[in-house]
Amino acid sequence: MATASDGDMGAAAPPPLESFLAIGLDQRTAENALANRKVTANLTAVIAEAGVTGCDKSVGNLLYTVATKYPANALVHRPNLIKYILSEKIKNSAQLDAALSFLSTLGPDSLDLVKFEEACGVGVVVSFEEIQSAVSDVLNENMEAIVEQRYRINVGSLCGQVRKRHPWGDAKLVKEEIEKRLVEILGPKTEADNAKPMKKKKEKPTKVEEEKTVAAPPSEEELNPYSIFPQPEENFKVHTEIFFSDGNIWRAHNTKSILEKHLKVTGGKVMTRFPPEPNGYLHIGHAKAMFIDFGLAKERNGHCYLRFDDTNPEAEKKEYIDHIQEIVTWMGWEPYKVTYTSDYFQNLYELAICLIQKGLAYVDHQTPEEIKECREKKMNSPWRDRPIEESLRLFEDMRRGLIAEGKATLRMKQDMQNDNKNMADLIAYRIKFTPHPHAGDKWFIYPSYDYAHCLVDSLENITHSLCTLEFDIRRPSYYWLLVALGQYQPHVWEYSRLNISNNVMSKRKLNRLVTDKWVDGWDDPRLLTLAGLRRRGVSSTAINSFIRGMGITRSDNSLIRIERLEYHIREELNKVAPRALVVLHPLKVVITNLDHGTIINLDAKMWPNASDDDASAHYKVPFSRTVYIEQSDFRLKDSKDFYGLAPGKSVMLRHAFPIKCTEVIYGDNPDSIVEIRAEYDPSKATKLKGVLHWVAEPSPGVEPLKVEVRLFEKLFLSENPAELEDWLGDLNPQSKEVIKGAYAVPSLANAMLGDKFQFERLGYFAVDSDSTPERMVFNRTVTLKDSYGKAGPK
């Protein structure tokens, strides 16, 4: 076995493929290892820890197993295991499997070598005679099956039975001995032994009169989406490995003492946080974050903070803070505490001084452009290695406001040569002479998100730090800072971002739509802001149902069709929205065989399955000589697929009577129809397919209740407008239609803000905040059918 001598330590490391082949791996295995970035990094680290430049194939295969199967929670003990392999105290796969199992259970706790060696069979020698004796016993116990099955006997099963007797015996010798003894018992293979076994034909199941499909039981994750998260007391495993360009590796995990201190403070409870930045209104993507953050805490009987990530004083407004607190409550969540990152500015400042004192932060004077160039070229800042005392003095000057904005930053001394740009000496503090909305004018320096986020998570003893997948590449820098300062480390987990078709979810784009007045404010019903969805008539329960249906996945950031959200909205509204009659584009119909002044008050059902005897489930609809139907429900020429009214044709008026068109009254030209004359059938004897919604004059000569109705379509024409360079050019010019002259039944005059209805044959509608006692305004929440033509419940 070749090892690296002291004189070789400064030499350049061989290329990965060459070093993999040097430890005895075959070409294919070595190339497959290179194809996997994680395996490459782990195997390179294992070879470096072993300090070998070449070894026997048997040892190399064991080292490869260590690289691919070693438990992440016990990485502190990996060098010890490698020593056992190199010294051949652990020399076969059975011993190594036992070692890995032992260390996985142990985790980062101190290693008892006596128990470890006992568990792995170190020093146990199984003689060839012992193997022969065990093989004889196993073959004798299975002799009846051997004689019957001959060479088709399962040799692997026989080997396993021997291994139970001698777990540390040489597996290769065991297999060879069993195969040799089988030949002695059975003799040479016959033609029948060599023939391929006949495949048995599958018997067709007996047909039954009625086949019932039994649905597979739901998975644990479907029943409880939070089951994937570990318990707080399990937070001792390695969170991530931080790879440095010089080959060094930091393995982030909580020590036993740090975890015990954390659990004592929290009482072992789950602690999460929902940390929005107060620089805009929340959208449906934040609803997913709330569902995960607040939902996990609620499911585990823990607590969830509402923490305002207010590190940028220029972008934050009290309007946004008030909105966020109100909308969190509306979504059904109750924060444990409301906190601000600015509450911890003093703590963060003191930790920054500690970081400088450790030689892990420095004051830099590069401009943003110079920083960008150095990151691209992987070059250090010229101020990176300035004396610690100098950085401490300059940082104090920054804090006191003695250095101008843009003339200095505090940067973390991470790894400028790292392939991960989020390890390239991120900025921890910058100078801003801007008063803070929450902290006042005390500070002239403000921490960055990358510096503050992980530290406040730690200071608040957060157990699960949950965020979207785009933060995955920031995980090394998150843990770098906590490890560097010896702080408690939360369990970080990323989930897929919620992207919904025909809309934008970026706060920057949403802000552009609002400030440039492309939409009517943050609560425009066409937006997927939570305020916009609420104004449109969508409930928090429908949103949460939609989120739960998506699942808490890490799969990808695939686009979810908006129809999927609409399905959950319809499902709820069908159960809770009472029915009502509204005509959007009225066409006058005069019932000629109904006397002038006659008003028939009819009972209309609020719900399709309402009992005829339940008065509370009905509302009164006046039927008079003048009624109004939709203009689109009348044609001069009838057809088989048209169920509306036509000359000489009869239709049923919903909740009322059949009517038959007897005359058409035209306006100034033949294309202008101003009135229909019709006769009604008070006996209701006629059975008709066509059923129309309608509204009548409540009393002779009195116009029906006039309401404003707003119809909304998709805001953007393309499914994914965010990908377009000219995304504003993709706005749908027909995304909003305002109908000011719609007619409604009298009962809708009493509708209140928050009330929702199904306007029969038209869709689901909600009272808008623009409504006044003199003018009711209704927003269409969703149609009765999706865009594919599937009908929702009627």
What's the pLDDT tens digit per position in 476-505?
Answer: 999 999 999 999 999 999 988 899 999 999
- pLDDT, one tens digit per residue, over 11-52 is 445 677 888 888 888 888 888 888 777 788 888 888 888 888
Among 354, 345, 303, smallest CA distance to 456 is for: 345
Question: What is the rounded average pLDDT of the residues 312-341?
Answer: 94
Q: For the domain bounded by 343-459, which CATH number is listed?
A: 3.90.800.10
Most confident of 186-195, 216-225, 353-362, 497-506: 353-362
pLDDT at 222: 60
- pLDDT, one tens digit per residue, over 703-740 is 999 999 999 999 999 999 999 999 999 999 999 999 99
- Give me the active site residues, please: 277, 497, 507
Contact 305, 335 (CB under 8 A): yes
Question: What is the rounded average pLDDT of the residues 279-304?
Answer: 95
pLDDT at 197: 66
**What confidence category does residue 649 fall into, taking pLDDT thresholds of 50, 70 and 90?**
very high
**345 vs 88, residue with greater confidence:** 345
The residues of the chain that CATH labels 1.10.8.1290 are 16-120
**What confidence category does residue 697 fall into, taking pLDDT thresholds of 50, 70 and 90?**
very high
Q: For the domain bounded by 577-789, which CATH number is listed?
A: 2.40.240.10
- pLDDT, one tens digit per residue, over 652-689 is 999 999 999 999 999 888 778 999 999 999 988 878 88
- pLDDT, one tens digit per residue, over 411-451 is 999 999 999 999 999 999 999 999 998 888 999 999 999 99
The residues of the chain that CATH labels 2.40.240.10 are 577-789
Per DSSP, the three-state class of 550 is: helix
**What confidence category does residue 206 fall into, taking pLDDT thresholds of 50, 70 and 90?**
very low
pLDDT at 24: 85
Among 147, 217, 213, smallest CA distance to 185 is for: 147
Question: What is the rounded average pLDDT of the residues 150-160?
Answer: 86
Q: Which CATH number fits domain 16-120: 3.40.50.1580, 1.10.3860.10, 1.10.8.1290, 1.20.120.80?
A: 1.10.8.1290
The residues of the chain that CATH labels 1.10.10.2420 are 128-188
477/412 Cα distance (integer angstroms): 10
Residue listed under structure tokens 């995960």: 292
DSSP string, 50-74: HTEEE--HHHHHHHHHHHHH--GGG
The residues of the chain that CATH labels 3.90.800.10 are 343-459
- Predicted confidence (pLDDT) at residue 326 exceeds the cutoff of 80: yes
Cβ burial of 389 (10 Å; 0-12, 13-18, 19+) is: exposed
pLDDT exceeding 90 applies to what percent of the chain? 59
Q: Tokens for 175?
A: 């297999």
Question: What is the rounded average pLDDT of the residues 117-133?
Answer: 87
Domain 128-188 class in CATH: mainly alpha
- Predicted confidence (pLDDT) at residue 3 exceeds the cutoff of 60: no
- Predicted confidence (pLDDT) at residue 692 exceeds the cutoff of 90: yes
> Phi, psi at residue 743, to the nearest 5°?
-110, 145
pTM as predicted:
0.75
Contact 541, 287 (CB under 8 A): no
pLDDT at 793: 36
Residue 772: CB partners within 8 Å, gap ≥ 6?
A: none
Q: What is the CA radius of gyration of the chain?
A: 37
Per DSSP, the three-state class of 770 is: coil
Among 422, 427, 419, 336, smallest CA distance to 381 is for: 427
Residue 725: CB partners within 8 Å, gap ≥ 6?
A: none
Lowest mean pLDDT among 92-106, 274-288, 587-601: 92-106
Question: What is the rounded average pLDDT of the residues 559-570?
Answer: 94
244/13 Cα distance (integer angstroms): 15
